[in-house]
Copies of this chain bind each other. A is one copy, B any other.
Amino acid sequence: MYKPVTIKDIALALNLSPSTVSRALSDTYGISAETKKIITDYAKKVNYQTNPIALGLKNMRSYSIGIVVPELANSFFSQAIAGVESIAYENGYHTIITQTHDSSERELINVKHLAQRSVDGLLISMSSGTSDYSFLKQLHDNGLPIVFFDRIINEIETFKVTSNNFGGAFKATELLIKSGRKKIALLANAPQLSITNERLLGYKKALADYQIPFRPQLVKTCYKGGNDYQEVEDAVKEWLFMPEKPDAIFIGSDRISISCIRALKKLNFDPQEIKIAGFSNSDIVDLLQPSISYVRQKAFEMGRTAVEMLLKLIKSKYPITEFETKILDTELHWMNDQKDS
C-alpha cells in the first residue's frame, strides 16, 4: 500500500507544528531561515510530495483541464493536444485526455468523468454523433468553464476556436476548377458537425463563382464520419458507375480521405481521371498512393489558442460575458500531376 509522507509526519519528526512545516514548504513569509532549511532538508530526505488531492479539496481547484476529442489516432487532434499541453504545462496545469471514438454515449461518460474529477475547465471537440447538448449546457450553466475547438456548437455561448473551413474548402475547390475539373464531387462528413456545413458552403461558393452548376447527386454524406469504411466505399462506387462520373472529389475530413483513397484503390480507378483533394493533417499524406492534394489546419495553434481562452475563463474572478470565436487560416498543399492544365 502506497503511503506517502505527510506534513504531519514531518512535524512530528521535527517536533514542530504542521502549520510551520506547511509554511516552510509552501515558501511563504513568516518563518525563520534556519527552521525553513531544517524542514526543507528533511522533506527532501524523506521525499515529501505535497498531496494534490488534499490541496484540491482545500482550494476547490484541481489545476487540471479536461480534453475531449473524438480520436487520439487522428493527427489533427494529436497535434492540437500537443498545442494544449505546451501552454497548459507552462501555466502549472496538467491535462486529462479522453477520446470518444465519435460516440455520443462515450462522450457523455467522459465529460461526466471529467466533471466529477473536478477539472477546472473543459476543452472539447464534439463527436460526430452528438445532437443533445443538454448535459454540457447544464455543466456550463453550473459555472464550469468550457471552450470548444474545431467542431464547435452554437447552442452554448463561450469562447470557441476553429479553422476557416469555408475558406479552406473554397480554395481547394477553386484550384480543382482551375486545374480543369468541372464535375467536382464532395464527400462530406457527418451532418451534425459545424465544420461539415462550413466546408459544404465553401465548396458551393467556389462552384458558383465559376459558374458551375451545383449538382446534388455529386454530394454524398458520410454519417459515420469515415469510421464506417463501407459507407465511404458505397458512395465512391456509386460515383464511379455514374454515366457522367466526377473528374474530381473533394473530401471533407481526414479519416474520410483515407477511406476514400482506399476505396478508389480497391476499385481500380484511374488516378488520371479523378483528382482528389481533401482536408488532412496526416504527416504522411504526401506518401499516399493515389496522391491527394490537401487542406491543412493549424492544429497546434488551435490547441494553444483554445487553452489560452480556457485559462482566461478559469482565472477570471468575475463572470465573462463577452466571448470570441477565433477562426484560424488553413494551408492548401497542391499535388501536381500531368493532366493539370
Contacts and interface: CB of A to CB of B under 8 A. Distances in A.
A142 interface: yes
A96 B71 CA distance: 15
Given A79-B73, A287-B265, A113 B97 contact: no
A81 B98 CA distance: 10
A127 B47 CA distance: 24
Interface in A271-328: 282-284, 286-289
B50 A53 contact: no
Secondary structure call for the A interface: mixed
A96 B97 CA distance: 6
Interface residues of A, number: 55
Interface string A113-128: 1011110000000000
Interface stretch (A10-18, A56-64, A170-178, A232-240): A56-64
A213 interface: no
A109 interface: yes
Copy number in this complex? 2
Contacts of A288: 284, 287-289
Contacts of A57: 51, 53-54, 57
Nearest 9 A/B pairs, CB to CB: A289-B289, A73-B78, A2-B143, A97-B97, A72-B78, A53-B56, A72-B72, A2-B144, A94-B113
Interface of A: 1-4, 47, 49-54, 56-57, 60, 62, 64, 71-73, 75, 78-79, 81-82, 85, 89, 94-99, 101, 109, 113, 115-118, 138, 142-145, 258, 261-262, 265, 282-284, 286-289
25 contacts: A2-B144, A4-B142, A47-B142, A51-B116, A51-B118, A52-B116, A53-B53, A53-B56, A53-B57, A57-B57, A64-B117, A72-B73, A72-B78, A72-B81, A72-B97, A73-B75, A73-B78, A78-B78, A82-B101, A94-B113, A96-B97, A258-B284, A265-B287, A284-B288, A288-B289
